[in-house]
Structures are given as C-alpha cells and as structure tokens.
Amino acid sequence: MSKALGNNPGRDWEIFYKENELNWENKEYYTEKYMHSFLKSEWMHSLIAHLKPGQKVLEAGCGTGLFSIALAYAGYEVTAIDYNEAAIELSQNNLDLFNSQSEKKLKIDFSQGDLLNLEFQNNTFNMVFNQAVLEYFTDDDNFDKAISEMHRVTVAGGTVVAIVQNTRNPIRPLWNLMGLQFYINQPNVRLIHRQVLQKYFSRYFKIVSIDGLLPWKAVFMAPKKFHKVTYYLNRFFEKFVPQPKVLRSKIGIQLVVVGLKG
C-alpha cells in the first residue's frame, strides 16, 4: 500500500482562489508586445535555455497560464495542468484574450490535474516546469513526490525546471523592516534554500544546477516613492555588475533549480 501523503497545497490554493481577489493578474500581459519583452526576462531565459525549437513542455501548476502562453508564443508545444478548476478557467480566459488581440493564434492543452499524481505516461515531455508551486509543498513526502512525478514524465535527456521563492533570502527581513509586504495572502511556504533543492533534486537527477534570479532587485527593494530610482539602479547593476552564481543563489529573489534526467 502506498504511503499516506500529507497536505496537498492544491487544496490551500482552492481556498485562496475562492476568498481572494487576485493581485497578480494583469490583463495587459496578454498581448504580443508584452510576450516579446517577457520572453527576454530571466524567468523565461531559465526555461528556454534548456529547450530546442518546437519541443514538448508541461507546466505543472499553471495558475494564470502566463508562462505557458509565453512558451506557446515562442513556438513550443505546451500542455498545462493545475489542481484548481479556477486556475484552468483563468488560464484559458487569458489564452482567449491573447488570441483575440493578436495575429498569432496559440493552442495550449489546459486541464485539471494533480502534480502528486500526473496523468501522463512516463517519458512524455522534453521539459516539465513550474514557477511558484513547489515551495507550497510544506510536507516533505509531498515535496519529494512532486519532484519524482515531474521526473517520471520527463524524457531521458530532458529537464525539470522549478522556479521557487528564495524563502531564506537574508535580505528578506529587511524588506519587512521597510514595510514592504510581498507574497501576502498566500498559503504557507516551506523553507527553501540551495541545499534543500540540491538534496531533493539529486535523489532523481544526475546533474542538478541552481541559480538565483534577480539578485540586484533584491538589493534595491524600496518603498513605492523610490521605485523610479531603484528601477534604474537595478537595471544598471544587472547589466554591468554581474554577480557570481554562488551569490546569486544566496540573494536572488527566486531560485531556479534545473535537473537533467539521465
């Protein structure tokens, strides 16, 4: 008999979708112009760097569908699941919105599904990824099971990429001191840092690499009235003052872990 699993964050998100106004949903994102610039972002780069043109991708926990839509726009064959029907509806609406205001018409296979029990055969996708999903698996067995499911449905030679909040970022308490509230109204998150990701991913993948995203942005966080100054400081430093990977994965706002399936 399989081991009984603890809390599934899909259920916490179900409550979140019912009770909260989404403050991370923005209709202006679903245009070709926005997709162009989003595809140049560090988030998208961390995915596309591991793909060949036209390959098959699964987003496991798609939320608004933004990442899936951007990848479909870039020409990949995208399938996306989410535990919550509300998220699937939201993603489909966003795709319809994009198609209604763009020349390029995109197709994505959205469906309801559970990351802890993916309804796909072994070795199906060239890449399986998610963004802001794994950190909500506060139960260790479920965290492990989610990674093993992502691994199972990935082809040999393919990659699993997870982008997660750097919950132990040493600068994070400083944001709180400045009264900057991020990630409000979200379900509980687990402790995540480099070593945690390394430990769990190396159970399944022969090569694991970890990097930090937007490390300068973490440094230049400031109250709203200083946003213009910090925006330009941040852009300048990101362009001209690169940080070594070790530092990036210490202070990056998010961490990106890539597992290569042998």
Query: 142 vs 220, which CB is nearer to ligand SAM?
Result: 142
Q: Are 38 and 57 in contact (CB under 8 A)?
A: no
Q: Is 63 in the site for ligand SAM (CB under 6 A)?
A: yes
Residues 127-156 within binding reach of ligand SAM (CB under 6 A): 131-133, 136
Q: Do strands 254-260 and 154-165 pair parallel, antiparallel, or not at all (unpaired)?
A: antiparallel
Q: Is 71 in the site for ligand SAM (CB under 6 A)?
A: no
Encoded tokens for 173: 């308490």
Query: 47 vs 87, which CB is nearer to ligand SAM?
Result: 87
Q: Is 215 in the site for ligand SAM (CB under 6 A)?
A: no
How far, in Å, CA of 64 to CA of 5, rounded? 27
Q: Is 162 exposed, middle or buried (0-12, 13-18, 19+ CB in 10 A)?
A: buried
Q: Is 97 exposed, middle or buried (0-12, 13-18, 19+ CB in 10 A)?
A: middle
* Closest residue to bound ligand SAM by CB: 63
Q: Is 108 in the site for ligand SAM (CB under 6 A)?
A: no
Residues 73-92 within binding reach of ligand SAM (CB under 6 A): 81-84, 87
Query: 187 vs 230, which CB is nearer to ligand SAM?
Result: 187
Q: Which residue has the tokens 């009264």?
A: 179
Q: Are 261 and 155 in contact (CB under 8 A)?
A: yes
C-beta of 226: minimal distance to ligand SAM in Å? 27
Count residues binding ligand SAM (CB under 6 A).
21
Q: How far is CA 11 from CA 7, 25, 65, 219, 245, in A?
A: 8, 20, 19, 34, 35
Encoded tokens for 130: 């998610």
Q: Judged by CB under 6 A, which of 71, 115, 192, 214 binds ligand SAM?
A: 115
- Applying CB under 6 A, the span of 112-120, 153-161, 168-176, 197-205 interacting with ligand SAM comes to 112-120
Q: Is 61 in the site for ligand SAM (CB under 6 A)?
A: yes
- Residue 113 CB: number of other CB atoms within 10 A? 21
Q: Judged by CB under 6 A, which of 30, 67, 98, 204 binds ligand SAM?
A: 67
Q: Is 114 in the site for ligand SAM (CB under 6 A)?
A: yes
Q: How far is CA 173 from CA 76, 117, 165, in A?
A: 39, 36, 14
Q: Is 211 in the site for ligand SAM (CB under 6 A)?
A: no
Judged by the rule CB under 6 A, the positions of this chain that interact with ligand SAM are 8-10, 13, 61, 63-64, 66-67, 81-84, 87, 114-116, 131-133, 136
